[in-house]
């Protein structure tokens, strides 16, 4: 009986959280029709993810800070280059983590109280990004990263600890994310493929991050949502990083340079140069499809008809009986067919060509949380997808 009440408690908590998200997303329109300020305040306090009225989570004038204001923020530490050189052991090759559009990333260690360099393996592990002088992103993007991550605080945004700006040396210091990027888990060699449960957890974490940005008092459009910008902590909690292309929204009538990653950019952004929150929703739909299929959105190594994942997969996503044909083989059938079809449907809604009919991220998040709740109620009894394994056995001659 106690277990029944525990499960009921979880159900109530999930539903309350889901409804909070929906109400907060509609706060502005409801207030114009007499929605009480007391109720607004209650909802703002109730939701741990979205808070339109709190300047502590996202200041209303975040895009208007000067460079001096940004770099003097009390939320981030100004490191010297020598401090970061010591923390990374002079940027040793064995501390090298990888490379991105911004530059090279190294692992380091600092004392969690004094932030001075500590012995490798002791203290606080950090990731240090070192800007490439002639890289894809420059000082403007570097400063934008310090601005946004120095002011925004959310469980699903990577924590910016500090920065260094000395001459030509421009570096950023983040919390270290031990599981790396989602891209590495989906498309590169990783000892253990992501389970279905973990993929849903990652999708929900990423959706919470985008919802938070979109529902802020001053909306933030992320513009570059993709697996390499989704980092995973030790518990596979997804955290969004790399705000170099982020922009305060909504964007006015003027166009902006179309920058992002080919394959993820929404068609209307390419056509008009106007990024919106619905452009981010399209990006999310692409990543959701990558989570389902384990395939890159663009892959020239595949046969021509399968090189563009979105175009190839859409017909299968609409038919529950055919969906198994696009599912990631590394899942080995360990997922519910019903759940997979639900996720596919959410992805399809996000990928609609007309941005006006796409859901907002709060609605996407609610759908995914409902799915997670339903799967948890099964107490882990996820059945193997029969069509997938029937087909696999046929292919290997089992029948």
Short-list 8, 19, 58, CA closest to 42: 19
Alpha carbon 110 to chain centroid, angstroms: 26
Instruction: Give the angle 372-228-295 at the CA atoms, nearest 5°.
Output: 70
**Is 224 assigned a catalytic role?**
yes
Q: Which two tokens stand for residue 103?
A: 């530059």
CA distances from 274 to 242, 245, 259, 261 (A): 20, 14, 11, 16
Angle, nearest 10°, between helix axes 309-317 and 277-293?
A: 80
Cβ distance 285 to 347 under 8 Å? yes
Angle, nearest 10°, between helix axes 361-376 and 337-350?
A: 180
Round to whole Å and give the CA distance between 332 and 309.
Answer: 20
Round to whole Å and give the CA distance between 214 and 120.
Answer: 39
**Structure letter (DSSP) for residue 395:** H
Bridge pairing between strands 230-232 and 238-240: antiparallel
Annotated catalytic residue within 20, 28, 69, 224: 224
130 is in an annotated binding site: yes
Which residue carries 């260094």 as its tokens?
164
CA distances from 83 to 75, 90, 221, 289 (A): 18, 10, 33, 42
Could you tell me which residues are beta bridge partners of residue 117?
110
Q: Which residues are annotated as a binding site?
A: 130
Task: Give the residue numbers marked as catalytic.
Answer: 224
Q: Which residues are annotated as a binding site for ATP?
A: 130
């Amino acid at each position: 009986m106690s277990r029944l009440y525990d499960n009921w408690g979880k159900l109530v908590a999930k539903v309350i959280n889901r409804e909070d998200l929906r109400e907060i997303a509609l706060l502005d329109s409801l207030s114009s029709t007499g929605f009480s300020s007391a109720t607004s305040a209650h909802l703002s306090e109730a939701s741990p993810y979205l808070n339109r009225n709190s300047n502590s989570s996202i200041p209303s004038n975040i895009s208007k800070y000067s460079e001096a204001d940004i770099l003097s923020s009390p939320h981030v530490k100004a490191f010297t280059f020598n401090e970061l050189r010591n923390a990374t052991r002079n940027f040793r090759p064995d501390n090298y983590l990888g490379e991105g559009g911004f530059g090279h990333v190294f692992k380091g260690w600092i004392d969690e109280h004094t932030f001075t360099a500590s012995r490798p393996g002791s203290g606080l592990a950090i990731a240090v990004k070192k800007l490439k002088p002639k890289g894809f992103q420059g000082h403007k993007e570097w400063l934008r990263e310090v601005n946004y991550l120095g002011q925004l605080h959310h469980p699903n945004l990577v924590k910016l600890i500090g920065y260094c700006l000395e001459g030509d040396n421009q570096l950023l210091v983040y919390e270290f994310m031990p599981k790396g990027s989602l891209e590495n888990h989906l498309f590169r060699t990783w000892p253990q493929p992501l389970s279905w449960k973990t993929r849903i957890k990652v999708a929900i974490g990423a959706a919470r991050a985008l919802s938070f940005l979109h529902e802020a008092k001053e909306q933030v459009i992320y513009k570059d949502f993709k697996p390499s910008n989704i980092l995973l902590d030790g518990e596979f909690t997804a955290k969004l990083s790399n705000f170099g292309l982020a922009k305060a929204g909504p964007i006015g009538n003027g166009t902006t340079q179309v920058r992002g990653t080919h394959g993820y950019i929404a068609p209307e952004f390419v056509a008009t140069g106007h990024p919106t929150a619905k452009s981010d929703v399209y990006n999310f739909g692409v990543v959701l499809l990558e989570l389902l299929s384990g395939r890159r959105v663009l892959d020239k190594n595949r046969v021509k008809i399968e090189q563009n994942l979105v175009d190839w997969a859409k017909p299968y996503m609409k038919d529950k009986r055919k969906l198994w044909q696009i599912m990631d083989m590394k899942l080995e059938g360990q997922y519910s067919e019903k759940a997979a079809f639900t996720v596919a449907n959410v992805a399809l809604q996000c990928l609609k060509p007309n941005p006006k009919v796409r859901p907002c991220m709060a609605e996407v998040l609610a759908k995914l949380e409902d799915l997670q709740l339903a799967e948890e109620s099964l107490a882990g009894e996820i059945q193997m997808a029969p069509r997938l394994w029937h087909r696999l056995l046929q292919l290997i001659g089992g029948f």
